[in-house]
């Protein structure tokens, strides 16, 4: 639903996609200014003030927005941005020390590893305040609803459901009742911080079985689409997500093979594993730490209902506290 001519567009961004192909959206100069304002409010809500300082953006800079939102927001409140993106961890630590940064942004696992503090949330949709009792939605910029995923009807205020978003100030595109797939609830009580905007609870999961790994949302359908391109792959797989000793997310893939030589030919297995890792990284944005080849029919079989929710093909073993 692009609403303006191409000559007025200034940026393209999109979702991570459930099959490797993202859903695109577009922005005019005014849209980018409003995005910067929302993220400036987010930074203000967690304690930043427009009086200079360094903001260290460690999120990904790519099509799925990543670090751009808080980059723009930091500029909006007159912070100096250090746009390092992901990777080169030693350089990041040295920059943080040398420049005496005011604060940082990035995925939760990045933040836990780098500073052991809460992550900054989302591209301007909502954010926590200093009370950390739910996420504030900037209601003059966007409308949020909570619906029953099966019926599409509103759920009673305070009850859990799927979040639906309508952008009220966007120039470039008409985003009307966009079903996010995120499971949460609208919180009816006022926030102790004094802000009067609508609040939503932390996202508890995904309708479509998506799960966040290192700041990227991955889906079993994406993994399936990559793996089943290879004739050596059998009929089933399982993604296992846990955390390493540094608190970083770690993805492993257990994979049934049709070519049993991969189970005992070390060089052949290593070569094929690298090909799979490269292919998965290009679609998911995340490189599996390991790919474990297993015998055909050795992994748990999913029922029809489990295939819809990825409860067998994605196993999350990270601590929930």
Task: Tell whether 4 and 115 lie within a shared domain.
Answer: yes
Task: Tell whether 4 and 53 lie within a shared domain.
Answer: yes
- State both tokens at 219: 């889906």
- 250-269 pLDDT, tens per residue? 999 999 999 999 999 999 99
Boundary (domain end) residue, out of 124, 144, 168? 124
- 127-150 pLDDT, tens per residue? 888 888 888 998 899 899 999 988
Boundary (domain end) residue, out of 90, 124, 158? 124
Structure confidence at residue 57 (pLDDT): 76
Is residue 253 in a domain? yes
Share of the chain above pLDDT 70, in %: 81
Host domain of residue 226: 212-316
Mean of all residue pLDDT scores within the chain: 81
Question: Whole-angstrom Cα distance, residue 202 to residue 119?
Answer: 12
| Complete DSSP assignment for 206-227 | ETT--EEETTEEE-HHHHHHHH
Contacts of 24 (CB under 8 A, 6+ apart): 12, 13, 14
Boundary (domain end) residue, out of 207, 229, 244? 207
**Selection from 16-25, 48-57, 271-280, 309-318 with the highest mean pLDDT:** 271-280
Q: What is the mean pLDDT of residues 205-222?
A: 76
Structure confidence at residue 314 (pLDDT): 86
Question: Whole-angstrom Cα distance, residue 15 to residue 37?
Answer: 21
**CATH number of the domain enclosing 153:** 2.30.38.10
Task: Tell whether 108 and 177 lie within a shared domain.
Answer: no
Q: Which of 151-155, 234-238, 251-255 is the least confident region?
A: 234-238
Task: Tell whether 227 and 191 lie within a shared domain.
Answer: no
Sorting pLDDT into bands at 50, 70 and 90, what band is 123? low
Is residue 46 in a domain? yes
Task: Tell whether 201 and 217 lie within a shared domain.
Answer: no
Q: Where are the alpha helices (DSSP H) in 201-294?
A: 220-227, 266-284
Q: Domain count of the chain?
A: 3
Is residue 321 in a domain? no
Q: Which residue has the tokens 């009220």?
A: 168
Output 65 or 5, whichever has higher pLDDT.
5
Task: Tell whether 216 and 302 lie within a shared domain.
Answer: yes
- State both tokens at 176: 């009307």
- 32-58 pLDDT, tens per residue? 999 999 988 988 888 888 776 788 776
Task: Tell whether 152 and 57 lie within a shared domain.
Answer: no
Structure confidence at residue 266 (pLDDT): 92
Output 230 or 113, whichever has higher pLDDT.
230
Structure confidence at residue 222 (pLDDT): 79
Task: Tell whether 1 and 120 lie within a shared domain.
Answer: yes
């Amino acid at each position: 639903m692009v609403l303006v001519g191409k000559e007025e567009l200034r940026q393209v961004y999109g979702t991570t996609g459930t099959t490797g192909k993202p859903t695109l959206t577009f922005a005019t100069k005014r849209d980018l200014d409003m995005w910067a304002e929302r993220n400036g409010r987010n930074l203000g809500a967690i304690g930043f003030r427009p009086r200079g300082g360094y903001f260290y953006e460690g999120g990904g800079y790519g099509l799925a927005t990543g670090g751009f939102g808080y980059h723009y927001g930091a500029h909006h409140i007159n912070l100096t941005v250090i746009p390092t993106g992901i990777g080169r961890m030693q350089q990041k630590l040295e920059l943080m020390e040398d420049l005496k940064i005011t604060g940082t942004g990035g995925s939760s696992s990045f933040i836990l590893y780098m500073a052991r503090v809460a992550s900054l949330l989302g591209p301007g949709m909502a954010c926590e305040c200093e009370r950390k009792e739910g996420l504030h939605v900037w209601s003059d910029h966007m409308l949020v609803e909570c619906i029953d995923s099966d019926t599409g009807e509103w759920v009673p205020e305070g009850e859990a459901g799927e979040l639906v978003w309508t952008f009220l100030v966007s120039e470039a595109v008409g985003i009307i009742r966009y079903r996010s797939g995120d499971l949460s609830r609208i919180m009816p009580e006022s926030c102790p911080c004094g802000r009067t905007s609508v609040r939503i609870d932390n996202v508890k999961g995904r309708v479509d079985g998506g799960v966040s790994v290192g700041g990227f949302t991955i889906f079993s359908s994406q993994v399936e689409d990559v793996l089943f391109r290879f004739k050596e792959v059998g009929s089933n797989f399982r993604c296992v997500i846990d955390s390493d000793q540094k608190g970083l997310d770690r993805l492993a893939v257990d994979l049934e093979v049709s070519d049993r030589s991969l189970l005992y030919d070390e060089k052949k297995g290593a070569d094929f594993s690298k090909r799979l890792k490269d292919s998965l990284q290009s679609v998911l944005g995340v490189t599996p730490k390991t790919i474990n080849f297993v015998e055909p029919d050795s992994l748990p079989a999913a029922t029809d209902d489990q295939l819809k929710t990825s409860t067998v093909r994605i196993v999350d073993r990270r601590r929930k506290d």
